[in-house]
A and B are shown apart, each in its own frame.
Chain A
Amino acid sequence: MSKKTILNSQLSTLNSQFFAFVRKEFYHIFRDMRTMLVIIGIPVFQILIIGFAISTEVKNVEVAVYDPSNDEATNRIINQLDASEYFNVVRRLKSANDVDNEFQKGKTGLIVIFSEDFGKSLYHTGDAAIQLLVDASDPNQGMTISSYASSVIAGYQQELLQETNVPVRINPEVRMLYNPEMRSAYNFVPGLMGLIFMLVCAMMTSVAIVREKETGTMEVLLASPAKPIYIVVSKLVPYFIISWIIFILILLLSVFVLEVPITGSLVWLNVFTLIFIVVALSLGLLISTVVKTQVAAILASGMGLIMPVMILSGYVFPVESMPPVLQWISGIIPARWFNEGAKKLIIEGVPVRSVLKEMMILLGMAIGIITVSLRNIKTRLE
């Protein structure tokens, strides 16, 4: 046989076997509507929940005031705050010590602290300090509170200017408590993607491969001339495509529902995500070479992949605030690197060379895991 005919015959087995397998995998997936709904439903649902959780509407925020100065100026500011529909002044704090406990006590969203001799310094030097402490555990809410409060103060400043014709300056010093980095719900989008891909790629593929072992069809396939590598790789193809569709779906929802602007390069974001999807798929492959039952596959991917992704990837808890040991452990979790890279590309909009490190780490992980699982497949099937 000449080289060409060998190639042709290989292409024809590729055609008759590989694509037949891929088609079959799609049948499996589409005929299992419940699983299909879960796969597509989870990301949509989560994005929508996050979308609704972000409320920018601020009304009747409880305000506490610490006013050691207690003069005409401070009282007018307090009254104007109270009069606005956004704020209700509910408490006057007696000492600076009370400030610390105030947020813990109740639903207070804002604490206004005047400097001592606020009025005096305002009239004498034209300069007075005021501090706004904002509960920023909900960052959007926090932002809105601080900007409304600042505008009430600016309004008072304006009034004074008209009354006295003396220019005064009130400097509100805003401090966002509990969430100084202002991590917004937007930050959850990349983390959520990491989680979803682990679920779809790793869990679903490992279950799909192990299912064939469990039902006995794998043995029949192995007793046939089908190439084991085709059998396995054909299972990855549909999940690769589905994951990509989910990725695009999440992007569309984040842009049009959450109004997260995608500031980075869309092409590189796709490339970066596809690399991560390959990592997740190869993890599913690896699990399938180790476990024997579907239940074990679910447990292995649930406990071994999804839990760590939730806890250690920076999805829920920021990596920077973890103890060093956990930071080190999080380094072996692919989703952590995806999370960091995707955040940079989506939110910060940095050029691709800034995520080169993350990309290389993910690429290395993909190659490593695929090598190990292919070796495992070979030895396992004998």
Chain B
Amino acid sequence: MQKKNNPPFSILNSPFSIIKVENLTKRFGTFAAVDRITFSVGKGEIFGFLGANGAGKTTAIRMLCGLSKPTSGEGFVAGYNIEKQSEMVKKNIGYMSQKFSLYEDLKVWENIRLFAGIYGLDGKLISRKTDETLKKIGLMNEKNTLVKELPLGWKQKLAFSVAIFHEPKIVFLDEPTGGVDPITRRQFWEMIYEAAEKGITIFVTTHYMDEAEYCNRVSIMVDGRIDALDTPKQLKAQFQVESMDEVFRQLARNAKRVEN
């Protein structure tokens, strides 16, 4: 917020950021779903992107992934302009959507093969890495199982592995742990940490405030704007509360949009 009052500094010039966004806006008619948001995400960071339903998170993610064109403002992801170089953006990111998004009627390995093939990975590399990955997430015995026969927690783990299979610079996770039990959620976050250690930047939305505590930094969207952005510790100090849950409540209380 302070940065805005300081004209010579532009987030777009910051050298260590892998996502840089300035005044990014998406309007549908007169309604600003995303209203001039400005932020940056550092390389290897786990960035929590919070907000109530309807606050504009999904619209913002869709713009960052090149799925939707911004009405105004600018954004760079992995060094590429999200509006003009969306093809290059897409090559360098992984994406896991809100809905479970693997093919239920394909086998585990077929899903991996398909998505890895889309990112242009070589066939031999794919087979080798498939086994590695499946062993790591404990699904080696399910290699030939149809995805629809897997329990939800396993599916989510698989979906995440598929999203980072091609070793993207950034992975966007849109509520990856919705409806998953606490133990699997815990395991899922261990996978996220592991990916972050390998240098993959994590951009994650969640409704679980305990998960917000796991993030390096957290932004909270209210009515299309980013009303707070800092480390969980700093945010708690700023709002003088004990938990992220209370930070979120304090901010969301001011929201004018009705949840949908």
Chain A residues in the interface with B (C-beta under 8 A): 13, 16-17, 20-21, 24, 27-28, 31-32, 215-217, 219-226, 382
Q: Is the CB of B105 within 8 A of A216?
A: no
Cβ-defined partner of A224 (8 Å) among B90, B99, B105: B90
Q: How large is the interface on B (under 10, 10 to 19, 20 to 34, 35 or more residues)?
A: 20 to 34
Q: Which of B9-17, B111-119, B232-240 contacts A (4 or more CB under 8 A)?
A: B111-119
Q: Are A223 and B95 in contact (CB under 8 A)?
A: yes
Q: Give the Cβ gap from A318 to chain B, nearest Cβ, in Å.
A: 43
B102 at interface by CB-CB < 8 Å: yes
A220 touches B117 (CB 8 A): no
Are B99 and A223 within 8 A (Cβ)? no
- Apart from A27-B110, A219-B67, what are 17 other A-B pairs with CB-CB below 8 Å? A16-B118, A24-B103, A24-B106, A24-B114, A27-B105, A27-B106, A215-B104, A216-B97, A217-B101, A219-B97, A222-B67, A223-B97, A224-B90, A224-B115, A224-B119, A225-B120, A382-B68
Contact code string B99-135 (vs A, CB < 8 Å = 1, else 0): 1111111100010011101111000000000000000
**A223 lies within 8 A of B93 (CB):** yes
Contact B106 A224 (CB under 8 A): no
Closest to B88 in A: A225
In the complex, the chain B residue whose C-beta lies closest to that of A20 is B117
On whether the beta carbons of A16 and B117 are closer than 8 Å, the reply is yes
Partner of A223, one of B66, B100, B102, B103: B66
Is B97's CB under 8 angstroms from A20's CB? no
Interface of B is mostly: loop
Q: For A223, what are the chain B residues with a Cβ–Cβ distance below 8 Å?
A: 65-67, 90, 93, 95, 97, 172
Which B68-109 residues have a C-beta within 8 angstroms of A? 68-69, 87, 90-91, 93, 95-106
Contacts across chains A and B counted by CB atoms under 8 Å: 70
CA distance A17 to B123 in the complex (A): 12
In the complex, how many angstroms separate the beta carbon of A233 from the nearest chain B beta carbon? 15
Q: Are A20 and B114 in contact (CB under 8 A)?
A: yes
Are A224 and B118 within 8 A (Cβ)? Answer: yes
- B183-231: which have CB < 8 Å to A? none
Interface centre among B91, B93, B118 (most CB of A within 10 A): B118
Residues of A within 8 A of B113 (CB): 20
B221 to chain A, nearest CB (A): 20
A-B contact list, 6 entries, CB within 8 Å = A20-B118, A24-B110, A28-B106, A217-B102, A223-B97, A382-B69
Contact A225 B97 (CB under 8 A): no
Q: Which residues of A contact B99 (CB under 8 A)?
A: 215-216, 219
State the CA gap A357–B146 with chains docked (Å): 49
* Shortest CB distance A279–B (Å): 29
Contact status B68-A221, CB under 8 Å = no
Question: Which B residues touch A222, using CB under 8 A?
Answer: 67
Contact B68 A32 (CB under 8 A): no
Q: Which residues of B contact A24 (CB under 8 A)?
A: 103, 106, 110, 114
Report the Cα distance A217→B118, complex, angstroms.
Answer: 13
List CB contacts (< 8 Å) of B17-68 with chain A. 65-68
CA of A24 to CA of B114, assembled, Å: 8
Q: Do the beta carbons of A216 and B98 come within 8 Å of each other? A: yes
Q: Give the interface of B toward A (CB within 8 A).
A: 65-69, 87, 90-91, 93, 95-106, 110, 113-115, 117-120, 146, 172
Q: B100 touches which one: A13, A20, A216 (CB < 8 A)?
A: A216
A13 touches B105 (CB 8 A): no
Q: Check if B90 sits within 8 Å of A225, measured CB to CB.
A: yes
Asked if A220 contacts B95 (CB within 8 A), the reply is yes
A198 smallest CB distance to B (angstroms): 25
- Considering the complex, give the chain A residue whose CB is closest to the CB of B122: A16
Interchain CB contact under 8 A, A17 and B102: no
The 6 closest A-B pairs by CB, nearest first: A216-B99, A223-B95, A20-B117, A220-B101, A216-B101, A223-B65
Closest to A24 in B: B114
A230's nearest neighbour on chain B, judged by CB, is B118
Q: Is the CB of B106 within 8 A of A16?
A: no
Cβ contacts under 8 Å, A32 to chain B: 105
**CA of A85 to CA of B69, assembled, Å:** 81
Docked complex Cα distance between A382 and B83 (Å): 11
Shortest Cβ distance from residue B216 to the other chain A in the assembled complex, whole angstroms: 23
In the bound complex, residues from chain A placing their C-beta under 8 Å from that of B95 are: 219-220, 223-224
Q: Which of A17, A27, A215 contacts B118 (CB 8 A)?
A: A17
Residue of A nearest to B111 (CB): A24
A28 to B110, CA, bound (A): 12
Assess whether A215 is in contact with B120, with CB atoms less than 8 Å apart: no
* Least Cβ–Cβ distance between A224 and chain B, in angstroms: 5
Residues of A within 8 A of B67 (CB): 219, 222-223
Expressed in whole angstroms, the Cα–Cα distance for A318 and B103 within the complex equals: 45
Which of A216, A217, A223 gathers most chain B CB within 10 Å?
A223
The chain B residue with its CB closest to the CB of A219 is B97
**Most chain B CB neighbours (cut-off 10 Å) among A32, A222, A382:** A222
Q: Choose among B68, B96, B118, B146 the residue that contacts A225 (Cβ–Cβ < 8 A).
A: B118
Question: Bound complex: CA of A223 vs CA of B102, how far in Å?
Answer: 13
CB pair B101–A16 under 8 Å, yes or no, is no
* Contact status A225-B119, CB under 8 Å: yes
Q: Which residues of A contact B106 (CB under 8 A)?
A: 24, 27-28
Which chain B positions have C-beta within 8 A of A16? 117-118, 120
Q: How far is the CB of A85 from chain B (nearest CB, A)?
A: 59
> For residue B87, which residues in chain A have a CB less than 8 angstroms away from its CB?
225
Give the residues in chain A near B102, CB-CB below 8 Å: 217
- B15 nearest CB across to chain A (Å): 26
B101: which A residues are within 8 A, CB to CB? 215-217, 219-220
Q: B252 to nearest A CB, angstroms?
A: 26
Are B105 and A225 touching (Cβ within 8 A)? no
Which residues on A sit within 8 Å (CB–CB) of B115?
A: 220, 224
Chain B residues with CB under 8 Å of A224's CB are: 90, 95, 115, 118-119
